[in-house]
Amino acid sequence: MLHNPEEYPEPERFNPDRFIKDGELNPDVRDPTTISFGFGRRICPGRWLSSGSLFITIASVLHTLDIHPILGPDGEEYDPFSHRIDTINLTIEKVPCTVTTRSEAAKKLIQEGSS
């Protein structure tokens, strides 16, 4: 259902801009969370925990780390989506990048959180 090209043009392409219009969330595009966790009697009971955990993880990474793409062999920024191979199985691709802490305070936060 989340790959229906009538609902989501070019569904295989990573394009977060499809949900934005004039700098705001586009109300004409269906929110994928309305079906990604199921619906009716079989809706996922952990959907709120999952969404909250994902939010705090992403917020923590963005708060403490700088993530930058590396340069590819042609001298341009490496685009991990330029060579994607579509398969039936979802796989995690290695995306070459540099990850550094934003500051000494951020480094301390990470170290305290991991102990």
In the annotated binding site, the residues are 44
In the annotated binding site for heme, the residues are 44
| Listed residue (70, 58, 65) closest to 96, CA to CA | 70
Contacts of 38 (CB under 8 A, 6+ apart): 44
Ordered DSSP codes for 17-38: GGGEETTEE-TTSPPTHHHHT-
Return the DSSP state at 100.
E
Amino acid, single-letter form, for residue 28: D
Q: What are the beta bridge partners of residue 66?
A: 100
